[in-house]
Amino acid sequence: MVFWRDAPGLCLAYGSVIGALCQVLSQLPAAVPRMRWHFSWRLEPCVQSYFKILLPAFVATAVGTLTVYVDALFASAVRLGPEFTSGAGAWTSIVNANRLVQLPLGILLTAMLVPILPRFAEQASTKKIDELKADYRRGLRALWFLSVPIAVVLIVIGKPIIQLLYEHGKFTSLDTGLLTEALRWLAPCILFYVGRDLITRVFFAFKDTRTTFYVALAALAIKATLNLILVGPLGVGGISLSTTLMSLINFGILSYFLRRKIGLLGYTSLIRPLCIILFSSIAAAVTARLVQEFVVSVVTGSIGLVVSLVSALLSAGLVYFAVCHLLRLQEVALVLSMARSRLRPWPLDLSNR
């Protein structure tokens, strides 16, 4: 913003490029001493194998981002009131709703998927299929345990969150309503999005990127078709709903092909914990809504909105963990054990949990 005050878009573009270059350069001092340089016009077999796996994997993992550009083609068809520029408000709402969903997803998926992929790869290479399937189910339960309450809370108290984050300057209450509608239909996709990203890593562990590549391409076609069907009756909500349905279908297709590859995945064992997670999330979201409305009625203004949301989120978290604990969900004990291990001067072994 210092050098391009009249071109904020250009500023963001240059900032992103510079940030990415700095990230690469910061890793070179540790990587360069370990490299053995060899120049050749022909790619080594290991490099060829790397690109053969990388390119389909890149498309498969980027499907969530690519669908945003598919949505851009349909946003202009959304009919808004005269107070909006044709299509502009719809597109902005889709982008902002996607950002609100991707923020917690990015943190959770990075924390979970980075360490679990090497474990999947080791189990796949040593043919420990039963262990791999057990770890896959545990990982899916852990992701659902952390992400489902976020999705439900976004649905129930999404509007005050949007008011706090966005309703400033030219962003009016009309924009808040449009973004709330988009977020309400998009938030449920979190449940299937985390499952899709986790099951994709299982395919990667078997060095199978072709399946995820073709499924990702099919998902884009499904997304466009659903947009065509749902935009007319639901408007912005139709675009968000199509993303949720596409995530569900994508996860289902990948589960089908993985079952053909390694056998039954044991999804029936996940029904009870998922029901507990959903019930606890609903209880937490209702608590958050009641607390938020009560506090904002007592403390007015911007400060009241901030205090109400903080109080609502803290109350929701306490209720969620309490209900899950009362219903004896294993993930609560695991989270508490991990928290206690952080406070101890020695590591805690959780390998047998």
271 shares its domain with 249: no
pLDDT of residue 86: 41
* pTM recorded for the entire structure: 0.78
Does some domain include residue 17?
no
292 shares its domain with 253: no
pLDDT of 38 higher than 80: no
198 shares its domain with 318: no
Q: Which residue range is the domain that position 198 belongs to?
A: 42-263
Nearest to 175 by CA among 68, 83, 304, 303: 83
pLDDT, mean of residues 222-235: 87
pLDDT of 344 higher than 60: no
pLDDT of residue 176: 86
Q: Name, in order, each residue with C-beta under 8 angstroms of 152's C-beta and a sequence gap of 6 or more.
A: 187, 278, 281, 282, 284, 285
Does some domain include residue 213?
yes
More confident residue, 74 or 176: 176
Does some domain include residue 322?
yes
Domain final residue, candidates 263, 289, 324: 263
91 shares its domain with 224: yes
pLDDT, mean of residues 155-176: 85
CA dist 88 to 77, 245, 260, 331, Å? 10, 24, 44, 43
pLDDT, one tens digit per residue, over 134-149 is: 999 998 998 999 899 9
pLDDT, one tens digit per residue, over 319-337 is: 999 999 999 888 887 777 7
127 shares its domain with 235: yes
pLDDT of 125 higher than 50: yes
DSSP state of 41: S
pLDDT of residue 347: 43
Query: Whole-angstrom Cα distance, residue 233 to residue 223?
Result: 16
Overall number of domains in the chain: 2
258 shares its domain with 270: no
pLDDT, mean of residues 256-265: 92
pLDDT of 89 higher than 80: no
Does some domain include residue 325?
yes
pLDDT, one tens digit per residue, over 10-37 is: 777 777 788 878 877 887 777 666 666 6
Q: Name, in order, each residue with C-beta under 8 angstroms of 149's C-beta and a sequence gap of 6 or more.
A: 277, 280, 281, 284, 285, 316, 317, 320
200 shares its domain with 270: no
